[in-house]
Amino acid sequence: MNKILIAGNWKMNKTVPESLELIHALKEKLRSPCAAEVVLIPPFTSLHSAAEDLRGSDIQLGAQNLSHLGSGAVTGEVSGTMLISAGCKYVLVGHSERRTLFHESDALIHQKLKTALSEGLHPIFCVGESGEERDAGKTKDIINNQLTVGLNGLTLMEMRKITIAYEPVWAIGTGKNAKPEQAQEIHEVIRSRLASLYDPELAQGTRIIYGGSVNPENSSSLLSQSDVDGALVGGASLDADSFYAIINAIK
Ligand code: PGA
């Protein structure tokens, strides 16, 4: 059984003082050891102060994006090495908002995964179908293709650092979460794809987390599915009480 991972993706929310306020509130609540690995994913501007504030706690830090290029003349981008030096362990790659708003292709996402791994980060690789793709019966093909292109050529050692996040696009920020059995069905598809691309042991040991309108009310039914190893939480991670309730849903 994989250790449950609960990650809070703050997206483009929270100034530095607001980030620290939320972190303080969460640290207060998470005083005693908890069963989940908790990861906070604030905006770039808050990472360094967040890392300073989280020193000595079990809470991990992640970034929302990274450049597919190394250091140098790449105005406006942030490299994996910079993220490591700011205190990050994790980085989101392939989030649907990056795919849609910034036209990130599967090929670019593959490059970002390679770069993140070579720079020492643990990628959280997001995959998911749109509402139209689901309605057209294409969900499994879309997911399998995103996995095949994204993970192309990664070694077993690299794969052990990857978490997959299944995030159906129609469920993100809509309040319309996937039903637990829908999530379970696609998590099984992902696991069996990993087994065929690598081997069953790797597939079993890879964390596959669900994201899309996770909240304190639906989290325990989603997390009780056998192939759901955690949650990637957006809106509900912006409030200490609701994020803490989701972390506690696995007890
Ligand atoms: P949501 O976002 O929980 O607000 O739906 C999830 C995500 O985008 O990671």
Closest CA to 218 of 188, 249, 194, 182: 249
User: Phi, psi (5° rounding) for residue 229?
Assistant: -100, 20
User: Phi, psi (5° rounding) for residue 164?
Assistant: -100, 135
- Residues across the chain: 251
Name residues whose C-beta falls within 8 Å of residue 86's C-beta, 6 or more positions apart in sequence: 44, 47, 48, 51, 61, 63
Distance CA 192, CA 203 (A): 7
| Ligand 1 lined by 64 (C-beta under 6 Å) | no
Q: Is 95 a catalytic residue?
A: yes
Ligand 1: centre distance to CA 9 (Å):
7
Residue 86: pLDDT over 90? yes
| Ligand 1 lined by 172 (C-beta under 6 Å) | yes
Sequence letter at residue 149: V
Tell me the pairing of strands 230-233 and 208-211: parallel
Domain ranges of the chain: 5-247
pLDDT at 158: 98
Residue 32: pLDDT over 90? no
Q: In the CATH hierarchy, which fold is given to the domain comprising 5-247?
A: TIM Barrel (3.20.20)
Distance CA 28, CA 46 (A): 19
Ligand 1: centre distance to CA 211 (Å):
6
Closest ligand 1 atom to Cα of 97: 8
Task: Please tell me which residue in 95, 97, 110, 119 is annotated as part of the active site.
Answer: 95
Report CA 142 to chain centroid distance, whole Å.
18
Residue 1: pLDDT over 90? no
What confidence tier does 251 reach under pLDDT thresholds 50, 70, 90? Answer: low
Sequence letter at residue 170: W
pLDDT digits (tens, 9 = 90+) for 218-231: 999 999 999 999 99
pLDDT at 39: 98
